[in-house]
Amino acid sequence: MKVKDVVEKLNLTVFGGEAGLDREIKGGYVSDLLSDVMGSTDEGTLWVTLQSHRNVVGIAALKDLAGVIIVKGFVPNTETLEDSDREGVPLLGTSMETFEVAGLLYRMLADDAELPG
Amino acid sequence: MKFEFDIADGDFAKAGTSSSQVKHILKQLNVDTKIIKKTTVAIYEAEVNVVAHAVGGGKLLADINLERIVVEVADLGPGIADIPQAMVEGFSTASPEVISMGFGAGMGLPNMRKNADKLEIISGVDEGTRVVITNYI
Ligand SMILES: Nc1ncnc2c1ncn2[C@@H]1O[C@H](COP(=O)(O)OP(=O)(O)OP(=O)(O)O)[C@@H](O)[C@H]1O
Ligand SMILES: [Mg+2]
């Protein structure tokens, strides 16, 4: 499943990093602790968080993540958007809470991989 | 090959830029992706620690040859009083402001240990901190 499929199905806002929308998603990760994300994610991961500052894009780029979903309607500032455009890291937004978006995403990715459940 | 980058004092907006440059250099040198990945994690954590915990900024020195990557991240203090305690996962002295950004989980040094073949930390109260990360190619 590609990032753009998730954008469409979950009706996400695309704040920036459109160049990365065609990327394949290999998994998901939920955390608001940046060193936890740094240590525990691998490339192609879609990261769900309520953090919306520049270091989020910095980490997503360094770790080659597939993109970031910012929850609860938080909006990143202009510098953060510019970073995501420059790095081609999709920065996405939703008014949903983490629990809801993670649940939906889990189902979509599990279906995609034809996992039981 | 040697490269040197400045780490700005308390400037979270720029935190990670030195690590990003080293990552690009390693990519250009066609270093194995696994080694690039672990080195990037380790040096990012060292860089962010300078921004979050040190006063007066610091420097990142990368020394790369065919056998290994050595990255030294150094600052001017205030230093670490008890290094074994600082290495414990969950230990942090981060300020509330740093914590509100999602840093300060006390996972940076454990991440460094996991992602470095060799990790040296030289520090003391009112001294600078020097972190030396070595990864073999
Ligand atoms: N360069 C440094 N100068 C002074 N103190 C440091 C430095 N690096 C680490 N420390 C001390 O060691 C503690 C643990 O560092 P560590 O990187 O593991 O966690 P953290 O930076 O607090 O949180 P996280 O890395 O999870 O965002 C810090 O809270 C700080 O007290
Ligand atoms: Mg740290």
pLDDT digits (tens, 9 = 90+) for B38-87: 999 999 999 999 999 999 999 999 999 999 999 999 999 899 999 999 99
- Range of B42's domain? 2-136
Confidence of residue A115 (pLDDT cuts 50, 70, 90): low
Nearest to A12 by CA among A104, A109, A113, A83: A104
Q: Atom of ligand 1 at shortest distance to CA of B73?
A: 1
Residue B90 has pLDDT above 50, yes or no: yes
Q: What is the domain partition of chain A in residue ranges?
A: 3-112
Tell me, what's the ipTM? Answer: 0.94
Name the closest residue on chain A to residue B38, using Cα atoms: A39
Confidence of residue A114 (pLDDT cuts 50, 70, 90): low
The answer to whether the beta carbons of residues B44 and B19 sit under 8 Å apart is yes
C-alpha to C-alpha distance for A48 and A102, rounded to whole angstroms: 7
Q: Calculate the dihedral angle through the C-alpha atoms of B124, B125, B127, B128, rounding to the nearest 10 degrees.
A: 70
Residue B118 has pLDDT above 90, yes or no: yes
C-alpha to C-alpha distance for A37 and A60, rounded to whole angstroms: 9
The protein residue with its alpha carbon nearest to ligand 1, atom 29, reads B92
Q: CB neighbours of A7 closer than 8 A, spacing ≥ 6?
A: A14, A21, A90, A92
Strand A91-93 with B2-7, pairing: unpaired
From the CB of B36, is ligand 1 less than 6 Å away?
A: no
Name the closest residue on chain A to residue B102, using Cα atoms: A33
User: Residue B67, exposed/middle/buried by CB under 10 A (0-12, 13-18, 19+)?
Assistant: exposed
The three-point CA angle A15-A19-A23 to 5° equals 105
Closest listed ligand to the CA of B85: 1
Please state the domain count of chain B. 1
pLDDT tens for each residue of A54-97: 999 999 999 999 999 999 999 999 999 999 999 999 999 999 99
Architecture of domain A3-112: 3-Layer(aba) Sandwich (3.40)
C-alpha to C-alpha distance for B48 and B53, rounded to whole angstroms: 8
Residue that wins the pLDDT comparison between B113 and B10: B113
Confidence of residue B100 (pLDDT cuts 50, 70, 90): very high
The answer to whether the beta carbons of residues B7 and B59 sit under 8 Å apart is yes
- Say which CATH number the domain at B52 has: 3.30.565.10
Residue B17 has pLDDT above 80, yes or no: yes
The answer to whether the beta carbons of residues A35 and A19 sit under 8 Å apart is no
By Cβ distance, the residue of B17, B44, B105 closest to A33 is B105
Can you give B81-125 as a three-state secondary structure string?
Answer: CCHHHHHCCCCCCCCHHHHHCCCCCCCHHHHHHHHCCEEEEECCC
